[in-house]
Amino acid sequence: MNGRDPAEWLELDWRARAWWTPDSPADSRMLLSALATGEPLADDEFTRALCHRDGRVRHRALTEVAGHPELFPLVVVRCADWAEPVRDRARELLAQILDAGTAVALAPMILRVADRHRGDHALGLLDGVLRRAPRARLAPLLASGDRAVRRYAYRMAVEEGSLSPVELARAAAEDDDAVIQGRCAEAAVAGGADAEVLEILLGGRNPQARSAGVTALRRSGRPERAVDFLADRSALVRASARYVVRQHGIDPLPWYRARCADPAVEPGAAIGLAECGGRTDAPLLWALLEHPAPGVRARAVAGLRTLDVADVRRLRPLLDDPAPGVVGEATLALLPSAGRLPEEWLLSRLDAGRPRWERVSAWRLLDARGDLVRLRAAVSLLDDADVRLRARAEHAVLRVRRGTPRTWRSAEIAALLDRAEAMGR
């Protein structure tokens, strides 16, 4: 209905009512007269009338809006109007115009207004219409680009049982919304986890679907298949797989140890070992820091951090790893020990000629060392070409300026703040 987003309709409504001018009373009289006499109004005038500050104008405009379907979203807005006569008239009108076709078109607007005070009435009307409509009418809502609309449609489809377990499994595997993934995966499994449903879930792109499929393997009598997911890229799926294999009497720890000793080890196996192993398993992970696959190296560092066995001397060289993911994990592991890294060495890594991920790593480690070191690093970045690094530096200067009273500032901190101020920061 004219293609506007719900947020645009609400913005338009707010702007129309937000401003009062000396001409407003005359505008009210003009619109009331035109509406009463049936004088044709342009769309923009009708829109103004439906959003007018004067409740009498809004009420009268609703009486005439039936012939303007492009403005029906504003009828939905008026269903939550603060003026009772306007609200009641809008609700009567919406009940008249809402059928299976208009329900689909107005669903985004109704769901947006439902969050407002008194906005639930329109949602109730929508619910009633769609539950009586043929199943095919839900199809556009299930494919809507509006996440709230898709959530609503899938919730209704699950409640009404209008989608098969296979259809639900596909939605769980393919939709990019976690709420829809979880709801549909749970419903698909509850509806009968046959082979096709399981394969769809297990092959899903998102962890919610794969986790639901793995968990369902136990009930389907195929728990041994869960072993294939012990090294999944998702922690949720790995945890589900460990639960299933343990229920089947399989200890996942020896499997992880064997995989981490294999040159063909998957990244998920490295972190999986740390998730269910202990510090005695650290040597296997240290050995993986030399693995040719960046993903394995990164997950091995993450595993060492999980086991709390980080070693500054051994991890420091990984800050120069060619893979950004490895540098990022090494940085996280070294943050608690940032004070043991040479400050001048870290400052030199802020140099503009270095890869961005190395500069970000250096900033994070310097930032972890407290106000003085953070401020030294920040001032060196205040004119940096990297917008995000510069913003972090400006924020750091502001934190020190606001958090350290003048009487507590050392001479160096005061000098650095003066330098930042001279640079316009």
CA-atom Rg of the chain in angstroms: 31
Mean pLDDT across 274-297: 96
Same domain, 347 and 332: no
Average pLDDT along the chain: 90
Q: Is the domain of 155 the same as that of 62? A: yes
User: Cα 183 vs. chain centroid, distance in angstroms?
Assistant: 17
pLDDT above 60: residue 170: yes
The gap from C-alpha 152 to its chain's centroid, in whole angstroms, comes to 18
Q: What percent of the chain has pLDDT over 70?
A: 94
Whether pLDDT at 400 is above 70: yes
Q: How confident is the model at residue 379 (pLDDT cuts 50, 70, 90)?
A: confident
Output 4 or 232, whichever has higher pLDDT: 232
- Tens digits of per-residue pLDDT, 96-140? 999 988 999 999 999 999 988 888 999 999 999 999 988 888 899
Domain-ending residue, one of 110, 145, 162 = 162
Average pLDDT over residues 356-374: 93
pLDDT in tens, 203-215: 999 999 999 999 9
DSSP 3-state of 193? coil
402 and 328 assigned to the same domain: no
Alpha-carbon distance of 129 to 141, in angstroms, equals 14
Give the domain extent around 331: 263-340
Q: Which of 117-131, 229-243, 290-304 has the lowest mean pLDDT?
A: 117-131
pLDDT at 172: 96
Q: Is residue 196 part of a domain?
A: no
pLDDT value, residue 49:
87
pLDDT at 396: 86
Indicate if the pLDDT at residue 22 is higher than 60: no
15: pLDDT confidence band, cut at 50, 70 and 90?
A: confident
Shared domain check, 307 and 389: no
Tell me, yes or no, whether 183 lies in a domain.
no
The answer on 352 and 329 residing in a single domain is: no
Q: Is residue 406 part of a domain?
A: yes
User: Do 56 and 114 lie in a common domain?
Assistant: yes
pLDDT at 23: 53
Domain count, the chain: 3
| 299 and 318 co-located in one domain | yes
Residue ending a domain, among 117, 144, 162, is: 162
Same domain? 349 vs 315: no
Among residues 343, 295, 293, 335, which one has the least CA distance to residue 315?
335
- Mean per-residue pLDDT, 246-273: 96
Cα gap 377→290, rounded to integer Å:
31
Quick one: pLDDT at residue 65? 87
Q: Indicate whether 276 and 398 sit together in one domain.
A: no
The per-residue pLDDT for 29 is 76
216 pLDDT more than 90: yes
Shared domain for 295 and 374, answered yes or no, is no
Give dist(CA 351, CA 384) in Å, integer. 10
Q: What is the mean pLDDT of residues 61-88?
A: 92
- Choose the final residue of a domain: 162, 194, 220: 162
pLDDT tier at 33, thresholds 50, 70, 90: confident
